[in-house]
Amino acid sequence: MKKISKEYSEQKKILRIFKFLAITLGHFVLRSSLHAKEYVNKDALYMHPEKMYWLCRVMAKRWTKDNIEVVVAPAVGGVILSQWVAYHLQKITRKTVLSVYADKDGKEFVLKRGYDKVIKGKRVLVVEDIVTTGGSVKKVVELVRANGGIVVGVSALCNRGKVSSSDVGNPSRFDALLDLEIETWTEKECPACARGLPINTDLGKGAEYLANKKVFNDKST
């Protein structure tokens, strides 16, 4: 009963952190080109090291029995996750856990700085902040495998796109601290567009969307 109560309390704290720091209301265009009234701003979380410290500790605790040797994340924000999760795993298990990251190279990811040799033959945990489609995580999972790493699992701060294990490369286990269901619409279906509400250009792909739309309208006239 105490364990259930502790897990419930922990989950409530995770949700509070996201609601207070990361979840913003408005009119947004997502990477998928769909529109939404909510946006999960991961960059707002990264500004608070004490919150990231705690969240990454919760992530690490879920993998202490999996003999993780290396934590890998996609750059850029994922570098922070990789560091903290590896740190907590090492503190809890009292075993060496290394932290590396994959660099973005165009639309793909690559392992530089000799990291390919670091993960070869090692038990690897892939970590990510916000998972929307799973595409980026899947590329990192496949990259680790291609370089001889053994992908033990994938851990994320937030799964906001109903992403499944198959979407992230079929690891043995896929875990997220928080599962969020955010309603989305196409431009034609979007109620905010119908009401003429301005699109947020600071978060998401709003600025890019409006720029592309202006170019299209200019060409049409």
What is the rounded CA–CA span in Å between residue 196 and residue 57? 43
**Does the pTM of the predicted model rise above 0.85?**
yes
Q: What is the structure's pLDDT at 214?
A: 67
Give the DSSP per-residue string, 17-47. HIIIIIEEEEEEE-TTS-EEEEEE-HHHHHT
pLDDT per residue of the chain (221 residues) written in tens, 0 to 9: 555 567 778 999 999 999 999 999 999 998 888 999 999 999 999 999 999 999 999 999 999 999 999 999 999 889 999 999 999 999 999 999 999 999 998 889 999 999 999 999 999 999 999 998 899 999 999 999 999 999 999 999 999 988 999 999 999 999 999 999 889 999 999 999 999 999 999 999 999 989 987 665 656 65
Q: Which domains does the chain have, with CATH numbers?
A: 1-40+184-210 (no CATH), 56-179 (3.40.50.2020)
Instruction: Please say whether the beta carbons of 74 and 102 come within 8 A.
Output: yes
Q: What is the structure's pLDDT at 107?
A: 86
Q: What is the structure's pLDDT at 165?
A: 95
Q: Going edge to edge, which strands form the sheet with 150-159?
A: 108-110, 98-105, 70-74, 123-131, 150-159, 174-179
Backbone phi, then psi, for 196, in 5-degree steps? Answer: 75, 25
